[in-house]
Structure 1
Amino acid sequence: MATDKAFKVGIIIGSRRVVRVGPQIASFVHDIIKNAEEKAASPRRTVTFDVVDLKAVDLPFFDEPGIPQRIQSADGYAHEHTRAWSRRVAALDAFVFVTPQRNWSFPAELKNALDFLFHEWAGKPAMIVSYGGHGGHQCAEQLRAVLRAMRVRVTEKSVGFAFPDPDFRTKCFNGQELGLDASNDAGPWAAQRSEVVSAWDELLIPEY
């Protein structure tokens, strides 16, 4: 499936919490995927990544007068922050959503960022990586339902990172260093690396 055209993947950090570990986990997932691509036995498409931190994007609460599903290009939005967001998402070919679980669901800021757009997401493949006390599977299922309603082609496989012990959970809640290392076979969540790769491989299937 090699191709000269770069396959542009957005790794979406789905939390804007003041104290958070989302960027660490997104970096961990990013490194797992990059390692898998480097070790691929046969040539695959050229992949580039855009790490999209919703905290840096800093969208306001949805304030567009129009209905995104009826807007076909960035120029159709009323506000420059939406036009910029539209252009960034439209430039991507696929998405890896990295999201915490909050009260059995995914963060409001992620839902808000999704709701600003429609066609920019539609028709593209995506995978979900959730994390939480028990892995965040409930939030992943809710996010899956929302994405499918927006015509995103979500992989059947998803990944849930569960906090392995109370000390690790405390570090997560306090935004401390977690010691994540995609190359460490004995590090946190080392056993889940194969799940990330499996979901990633599914995402790469043409016209999945």
Structure 2
Amino acid sequence: MSTKSHKIGIILGSTRSPRVCPQIGTFITNTLTPLVPSGMEFSLIDISTNPLPLYDEPGIPSLITEASGYKHAHTQAWSLLISSHSAFIFLTPQYNWGYPASLKNAIDYLYFEWRDKPTMIVSYGGHGGGKAASQLRQVLEGGLKMKVVEAMPALTFPGREVLRQASRGEELTLPEGAWEKEGEDAKRGFEEMLRML
């Protein structure tokens, strides 16, 4: 890892209401914070508070290399925000065997702001969200040329009660030891990200 300071964006990939994505963000932040070296910080990026209409730029993102090249203020602001981060952790739910359209739209607004940056994907859902994570990996790694770490923690809601809580956006009451293995996967992936910086 280089000695310069780094900001790691934790992208909350759900805009649905109700949602538990912020709770997943807290879990990941708390899990990884002990591993954060000096000069590095986490930053939550909530796409629901950075609203982007369905892609409306007249240009193609892969041909635009700086924020001023975009027409709309919302795209310029999104470009500057993403450019200010060195790496990302994408948190995605799985909806109907895929990741949310709002996340795809937010990704597709930009290109160079994402390219070559280290990233990790964390999925969650009733079955862990592995299908969504695999699709997202293909987009980030293949389409955007991001450096996606091997580990892809998949957080499965443990039992009907937790699944019910998640579907209502309630506070999750996780049993003791829930997501312990997935937390270790996240740590392993984060350590790989650090080596890429």
Name the TM-score, length of structure 2 as normaliser: 0.95
Distance 2:103 2:2 in 1: 32
Distance 1:161 1:70 in 2: 36
Q: 169, 176, 197: which one pairs with 2:187?
A: 197
Q: Is the 8 A contact 1:155 1:202 kept in 2?
A: yes
Distance 2:161 2:196 in 1: 42
Q: Which residue of 2 is the match for residue 154 of structure 1?
A: 148
Runs (4+) of structure 1 moved beyond 3 Å?
A: none
Q: Which residue of 1 is the match for residue 28 of structure 2?
A: 29
The percentage of aligned residue pairs carrying the same residue is: 43
Q: Is the 8 A contact 1:7 1:45 kept in 2?
A: no
1:109-139: CA deviation from partner (whole Å, max 9, x where unpaired): 0000000000000010000000011111110
Summarize the Cα distance change of 1:106–1:193 in structure 2 as closer, same or farther, 3 Å threshold.
same
Distance 1:46 1:139 in 2: 32
1:41-95: CA deviation from partner (whole Å, max 9, x where unpaired): xxx4521111000000011111101000000100000000000000000010000
Does the residue aligned with 1:173 lie in a helix, a strand or coil?
helix
Distance 1:173 1:85 in 2: 29
- 1:144 paired to 2:137: yes
- 1:60 paired to 2:53: yes
In the alignment, structure 1 segments of 5+ residues that lack a partner are 38-43
Q: Is the 8 A contact 2:7 2:86 kept in 1?
A: yes
Distance 1:61 1:195 in 2: 34
Q: Is the 8 A contact 1:163 1:169 kept in 2?
A: yes
Does the residue aligned with 1:205 lie in a helix, a strand or coil?
helix
Q: Which residue of 1 is the match for residue 17 of structure 2?
A: 18
How many pairs does the alignment contain?
Answer: 196
Distance 1:132 1:87 in 2: 31
Amino acid at match of 2:30: D
Amino acid at match of 1:201: E
Could you tell me how far 1:2 is from its partner in structure 2?
6.4
Distance 1:206 1:107 in 2: 27
Q: Is the 8 A contact 1:2 1:46 kept in 2?
A: no
Does the residue aligned with 2:15 lie in a helix, a strand or coil?
coil
Name the TM-score, length of structure 1 as normaliser: 0.90
Does the residue aligned with 1:56 lie in a helix, a strand or coil?
coil
1:26-47: CA deviation from partner (whole Å, max 9, x where unpaired): 111011110233xxxxxx4521
